Each structure stands twice: as C-alpha cells, then as structure tokens.
Amino acid sequence: NMAVDFGGVKMKNPINTASGTFGYGWQFSELMDVSQLGAITTKGCAAEPWPGNPAPRMAEVRGGMMNSVGLQNPGVAAFAAQSGPWLDELSQKGTQVICQVAGHSTEEYVSALEMFCELCPWAAGFEINVSCPNIAAGGIACGSTPEGAGDVMRACRKVTDKPLFVKMAPVRIPEIARALEAEGADGLSVINSIPGMAIDVHTRRSKLSKPTGGLSGPLCHPIAVRMVWEAANAVDIPINGVGGVMTGEDAAEFILAGATCVSVGMANLVDPTASVRILAELEAWAESQGVNDINELIGALEC
C-alpha cells in the first residue's frame, strides 16, 4: 500500500508536485499521465491578478537554481475559469488537487481563500504560502515569525473546514510549526526556497532582475531533510517534505525523517516526467524495505 492521509487529504501515493514547478497541471498533461500522482499543488493565486517580477527571474547555479518569479498569477477567478474544469476531472481520477493561496497581508490571504472556496469546490485542500522570498509584503515577511504565520493561519481557519496546509519558510521551524498547529493547520509543507543571491561578476549585476531570489534544487535537500525532521518532532500534524527531491531515495529520506508525503519541485523543470519516475523509485525502495505499507516507514529513522 502506497496510500497516505495528508491531514485529511487521502492520497493514493505520497508523491505530489511542489507549487510553482508544475503550473496548473494541464501544462504537463501531454508529456505524462498526471493522474498517476498522489496530488498536485497549483501555483499560488491571489484574489486579484499579480504581474510578478520582470525577467530574468530564473538562473542556474551549481547544484540548483534561483528564482524570483514574484508569484505572477491571473487571480483566483481567472484561474478557476481557465483551469478548473481540467483540475476537476483530475480530482475525479483520484489525484488530489491542493490550491496554493497567496496574499500580501492577512486580509488578502482571507479574500483569496474565500474565492477559492467558492470557485474551486473540486479542491481537496489549500496551501497557504507564507514563505515566498520574492514579494515585498506577505510571503516570507509574515511567515518568519510564530506570530506572523500564526496570524494568517488563525484568520484562514475561520474561512473553511477543508484541509489547510502552510508552506513554511526555512526558518525557526519548531516554533513556527507549533504556532501553526495551535492555530488549526492540518499539515505543513517544509520547506520553500532558501533566500539567496547569484551575481554575474562580469556585469556586476544580479543574475536575476532583483538582487535576491529563492534557491531550490538538490543542494537544498539535506537542509530540507533536517527541517522536516525538526517539524515532525515538533508537531503531531503531518509534514509534506519539499526540497531538492531528484530520486526516489531522496523522497525516501524525507519519509524516514518523518514526512507523510513528498513534493517534487525543481526536478519537474529538468525532466517534466521526473515525478512519475520518482514515484516508481519510491515504490521500489518501499518494497526493498520489506514492508507492505509505506506508512510503516514514516519517521522510521533509526538513530
């Protein structure tokens, strides 16, 4: 058995896609059978459209990549109209759809979540992004303290009884995780990209259109594993491990560290079919461990 329960979202397997690396799902549908995945998480949407940051907003670095997209999105209404029918169908095939919620303030998160609840009844749950490193207000600015993150969670909890997850910044994991659990979060996605910089020394300019960006990819993986382990030890709600998963063994590390499920992020940009390969590799690993149920391996780290 590969099925897991992520905070009330029943997934047929633990593999899902990290927000922002898999569009709205349908963009990948000609390249792979998306319905093999346990879940997908859609790119963050706000109540109103956001233009995002100017190009260049992606740069390769050793062992990973940087981005400064700035949560470009068409707003929840356009998202629901354009992508809703395909996502509804996907959810009927048993792949859960988690919609990511963006905002610049608690009020904006609440407005966006209210719109999602009304316009996206097919969504299995929502992921509140309080960790984007590329926006001036909201994002990591409110997600880096227990008070800031807790505030957003408390307000969002009043909007819906559907599963609510929080995409966490790579800071103060145990304290912030406990604050989010206390405010009613159903699960935590650990971690978002790590704030970083990449400079072109010849032009003396940032490789991105702004000085800083978010670092993701395999070089983040050991940091993310440590943070997943910290989160899993701090709270009783389930953890989704996110950060540099390129192989089934990387996903297995997250599960042993205490993650219930695992997001594939940057790997989708290297090979659009990476997530289904990683799922097959994870299944092979579980079998090699001689268990009939992947749940037996969650947090099974021996130390």
Q: Which residues are catalytic?
A: 132
| Contact flag: residue 241 with ligand ORO (CB under 6 A) | no
DSSP class of residue 217 equals S
Q: Write out the H or E segment, with its range, that includes residue 128.
A: strand 125-129
| Contact flag: residue 128 with ligand ORO (CB under 6 A) | no
| Contact flag: residue 67 with ligand ORO (CB under 6 A) | yes
Task: Give the Cα separation of 4 and 16 in Å (integer).
Answer: 12
DSSP class of residue 34 equals G
Angle at 218 between CA 270 and CA 240, to 5 degrees: 95
| Contact flag: residue 129 with ligand ORO (CB under 6 A) | yes
| Contact flag: residue 71 with ligand ORO (CB under 6 A) | yes
Give yes or no for a cis peptide into 56 (omega within 30° of 0). yes
Residue of 13, 21, 42, 193 interacting with ligand ORO (CB under 6 A): 193
| Contact flag: residue 20 with ligand ORO (CB under 6 A) | yes
Task: Give the Cα separation of 160 and 124 in Å (integer).
Answer: 12
> Pairing mode, if any, of strands 39-45 and 15-17?
parallel
Partners of 240 in the beta sheet? 189, 261
Smallest separation, CB 126 to ligand ORO (Å): 14
Task: Give the Cα separation of 276 and 282 in Å (integer).
Answer: 10
Per CB under 6 A, which region of 62-70, 221-229, 231-239, 248-256 contacts ligand ORO? 62-70
Q: Write out the H or E segment, with its range, that includes residue 55.
A: none
8 Å CB contact between 192 and 155: no
Per-residue interface string for the shown chain with ligand ORO, residues 89-118, x marking contact by CB under 6 A: ------------------------------
Q: Write out the H or E segment, with its range, that includes residue 262.
A: strand 261-264
Smallest separation, CB 285 to ligand ORO (Å): 28
Whichever of 7 and 70 has its CB closer to ligand ORO, that residue is 70
Whichever of 112 and 252 has its CB closer to ligand ORO, that residue is 112
Whichever of 134 and 268 has its CB closer to ligand ORO, that residue is 134
- Determine the residue with CB nearest ligand ORO: 214
Whichever of 67 and 111 has its CB closer to ligand ORO, that residue is 67
8 Å CB contact between 96 and 11: yes
Q: Residue 228 corresponds to which tokens in the numbers above?
A: 């997943």
Whichever of 13 and 206 has its CB closer to ligand ORO, that residue is 206
Residue of 214, 238, 241, 244 interacting with ligand ORO (CB under 6 A): 214
130-169 binders of ligand ORO (CB under 6 A): 131-134
| Contact flag: residue 16 with ligand ORO (CB under 6 A) | no
| Contact flag: residue 263 with ligand ORO (CB under 6 A) | no
Q: Residue 188 corresponds to which tokens in the numbers above?
A: 């935590």
The residues that touch ligand ORO, with contacts defined as CB under 6 A, are 20, 67-71, 129, 131-134, 192-193, 214
